[in-house]
Amino acid sequence: MAQIYDRVALIGLGHIASSMSHAMRRAGMVGEIVGYARSAETREIASAIGLCDRVVDSASDAVADADLVVLCVPVGAMEAVAREIGPALKAGATVSDVGSVKCAVIDAVGPHLPEGVHFVPAHPLAGTEHSGPRSGFAELFDNRYTIITPVKDSDPVAVAQLDALWQGMGALTEIMDAERHDRVLAVTSHTPHLIAYTMVGVADDLGRVSESEVIKYSATGFRDFTRIAASDPTMWRDVFLNNKEATLEILGRFTEELFALQRAIRRGDGDHLHDYFTRTRAIRRGIIEAGQDTDAPNFGRAPGRKD
C-alpha cells in the first residue's frame, strides 16, 4: 500500500496504540512511528520490544514534525495532553484520538490545537480486556468498525487520509457525528460494560458467602461478564463520567425493561418471557450476519487466544 504519513506519533502506548503500531507496519502505510507514554516503565517495555521506531521521553518530543498524532490515553487525560502538545505541533499536522467518547474529547482537545492543525477524532470499535504495550496485535482491527467523527471545520483531505489509514489497518470505517456516536455507544458498549461490572460485583459478594462457588462453577455467560469487567478501570471510569447523559438515559431504559421481566417471572408469564427472548435472539443473528462475530463455539476465538 502507498505511504500516507511520513511520521506518526502515538501518545500513550497501551493496547490500542500497540495494535495500531503493528497494523501500520503490516500495511506499510507509515514511514516512522514515534511513541510516548507517561510511565517510564511502559516506555522501557515499548523500547525493549521494538514497538515503535523511536520511544521518547515527552509528548512534545513525540509530536515534533509528526504528520499524524493519535491520542491513545484515557478520555480524562486528553485535555492535559492536548495542552502540552499544542505548541509543538507542526502546521498541517492531523490530530486524532481513539477515545470511546467523542463529544467530551472534542470539547477537551479542540481549544488547545493551534490554527493550521487538523482535528479528526475517531474511535476504533475493537479491543480486548488486556492492556499495556505487549498486548497489541496487528489483526485487532480487521473487519471491525472505526467510527470517524469530524468536527465542523475538519479538513476533508485530512479526514480522507485518516479514513484510508484505518482501512489500511484492516478496519471498516464510517463517518458519524459525535452526538450520534455517543448515543449509539451508550447502547452497544458503555451500558453493557456497566451491567457487566455490576453483575461481577454481585457475584463477588455472593462468592464471599458461598466459599467461591460462584467462581468455581462459572458458566459461559458469567465468564463473558468477567472478561468485559476485566477492562481497564481508568478508561471506563472516564467513559462513564464523560458520556454521562447518554449512559444514564440508556441505563434508565434498561431498568424499565428489567422491571418488566421481573414482573413476568414473578407472575409466571411464560409467554412474555418467550416472546422477549425470541426478539432479542434475533439481534445476535443480525450481528453474525453483519460479520461482526461468528456463531462458532467460543465466539470463534482460536484455542488459547484471550481476545
CATH code of the domain in which 157 resides: 3.40.50.720
- Give the mean pLDDT of 103-113: 96
- The residues, ordered by sequence, that sit 6+ positions from 72 with a Cβ below 8 Å of its Cβ are 10, 11, 12, 13, 14, 16, 17, 20, 97, 98
CATH code of the domain in which 191 resides: 1.10.3660.10
The DSSP line for 156-182 is HHHHHHHHHHHHHTT-EEEE--HHHHH
**To the nearest whole percent, how much of the chain has pLDDT over 90?**
60
Per the CB < 8 A criterion, the answer to whether 20 and 72 are in contact is yes
Indicate the SS3 state at residue 69.
strand
**Do residues 16 and 76 both lie within one domain?**
yes
Note whether residue 72 is domain-resident.
yes
Note whether residue 295 is domain-resident.
no
- Give the mean pLDDT of 187-211: 73
Number of domains in the chain: 2
**Do residues 123 and 14 both lie within one domain?**
yes
Note whether residue 224 is domain-resident.
yes
For residue 14, what is its C-alpha cell? 497501551
Query: Comparing 69-83, 220-234, 273-287, which segment has the lowest mean pLDDT?
Result: 220-234
Higher pLDDT pick, 234 / 148: 148
**Do residues 142 and 188 both lie within one domain?**
no
**Do residues 172 and 225 both lie within one domain?**
no
Which of 113, 123, 121, 116 is closest to 145 using CA atoms? 123
**Do residues 30 and 172 both lie within one domain?**
yes
Residue 224 CA: distances (Å) to CA of 217, 220, 221: 14, 6, 5
Note whether residue 169 is domain-resident.
yes
Q: Which one of 153, 176, 199 terminates a domain?
A: 176
**Do residues 27 and 139 both lie within one domain?**
yes
Note whether residue 307 is domain-resident.
no
H or E segment to which residue 130 belongs: none
**Do residues 222 and 135 both lie within one domain?**
no
Q: Tell the burial category of 152 from Cβ atoms under 10 Å away from its Cβ (0-12, 13-18, 19+).
A: exposed
Q: Which domain holds residue 170?
A: 5-176
Taking the C-alpha atoms of residue 71 and residue 94, their distance in angstroms, rounded to an integer, is 11
**Do residues 112 and 186 both lie within one domain?**
no
Q: pLDDT tens digits, residue range 230-280?
A: 777 887 788 888 888 888 888 888 889 888 999 999 999 999 999 988 888
**Do residues 57 and 164 both lie within one domain?**
yes
- Give the mean pLDDT of 25-31: 96
Q: Which one of 129, 145, 176 terminates a domain?
A: 176
Q: What is the pLDDT of residue 251?
A: 85
Note whether residue 283 is domain-resident.
no
Beta bridge partner(s), residue 69: 9, 95
Note whether residue 289 is domain-resident.
no
Per the CB < 8 A criterion, the answer to whether 86 and 59 are in contact is no
pLDDT band at 85 (very low <50, low <70, confident <90, very high): very high
**Do residues 145 and 188 both lie within one domain?**
no
Does residue 90 carry a pLDDT above 90? Answer: yes
pTM: 0.77
**Do residues 124 and 193 both lie within one domain?**
no
Note whether residue 18 is domain-resident.
yes
pLDDT band at 298 (very low <50, low <70, confident <90, very high): very low
Q: What is the pLDDT of residue 249?
A: 84
